[in-house]
Structure 1
Amino acid sequence: MTRPTIVYDDDCGFCTWSAEYADAHGNFHLLGFSKLTPEERARLPDDYEDCMHVFDGDDTYSCGEAAEFVAAQLNTAEGTAARVFQSLPEGARRHVRDPTYRFIADHRDWFGKVRSKRPPARD
């Protein structure tokens, strides 16, 4: 079985940190936009640079749906919360998920600064 692939903006520090965090707490392959092949790019929407994506087999998830997919795979408290969130009807999830994702994506510079002020994790 292949690992899902997180497709992300590797020119964005917050995006890179988020993808690496997911990989460290889940089981993903990471693929930055700068490394996309023409075949991989063809799987993405025209405005693919506006958000993250996930390739899972033949399926492609984008934006909030991709973030939900990734979060639900994490072996963390965030993963547990995402799996509980997935018990809600899709319409209710979309109503919360998509605007939340867009807000974070539109303010990733600020979220990157907040993330960088956190003390390092202890082993």
Structure 2
Amino acid sequence: MLEPTLVYDDDCGFCTWWADYVDERTDLRIVGFSDLPEYPEIRKRLPEYYEECSHLVTEERVYSCGASLEEALRRYDRGGPLSETVGFLRNFEDYARIREWGYRQVADNRDTWGKLLSKTPPVRQESETDDER
């Protein structure tokens, strides 16, 4: 059985901040793009151009881009107001289009958002450690 997993760009400070936020608040496994070779069962379920956005992989399906973060936040707030709001919004035809537009606006401006919310990405932590040796 596949453990629900959030897959993200672990070479992005803003993405790392979000991944840590989700990791601290949910029971999702967090896997960076650079770690995917260790998880072939997850990699084979991702779309061809998986590096274009984050993904939440469950036994039943793969949520990509805005849907991945929406599902991660829904899991964080099970039964709470955010979860209920998401459930309500999913009833509207235009909601998915607006959600994905919002995701793309943030994703395409990660460098700017990273000035506000950022953590050193795991990929850079490893290379900094290697450089110090």
Which TM-score bucket, shorter chain as reference?
Answer: 0.7 to 0.9
Counterpart position of 1:7: 7
What TM-score do you get using the length of structure 2 for normalisation? 0.75
| CA RMSD, Structure 1 to Structure 2 (Å) | 2.1
Q: 1:61 to 1:81 in 2, by over 3 A?
A: same
Counterpart position of 1:18: 18
Report the 3-state secondary structure (helix = DSSP H, G, I; strand = E; otherwise coil) of the residue aligned with 1:72. helix
Counterpart position of 2:122: none
The total of aligned residue pairs comes to 114
Listed as ranges, the gaps of 5+ residues in structure 2 are 119-133
What TM-score do you get using the length of structure 1 for normalisation? 0.81
Once residues 84 and 43 of structure 2 are traced to their aligned partners in structure 1, the CA distance between those partners, rounded to angstroms, is 29
The residue identity in structure 2 corresponding to 1:34 is S
Counterpart position of 2:115: 113
CA contact 1:85–1:93 (8 Å) conserved in 2: no
Deviation at 1:3, TM superposition (A): 4.5
Higher RCO (Cα < 8 Å, 6 or more apart): 2
Counterpart position of 2:53: 51
Deviation at 1:100, TM superposition (A): 0.3
CA contact 2:42–2:57 (8 Å) conserved in 1: no
CA contact 2:77–2:83 (8 Å) conserved in 1: no
Counterpart position of 2:76: 74
Percentage identity across paired residues of the two chains = 42
Listed as ranges, the gaps of 5+ residues in structure 1 are 117-123
Q: 1:3 to 1:90 in 2, by over 3 A?
A: farther
| Structure 2 counterparts to residues 18-37 of structure 1, below 5 A | 18-37=18-37
Q: After superposition, what is the alpha-carbon deviation per residue over 1:62-120, rounded to whole angstroms, capped at 9, x for unaligned?
A: 101111101111249xx73353132121523212201000011101111111125xxxx
Report the 3-state secondary structure (helix = DSSP H, G, I; strand = E; otherwise coil) of the residue aligned with 1:91. coil
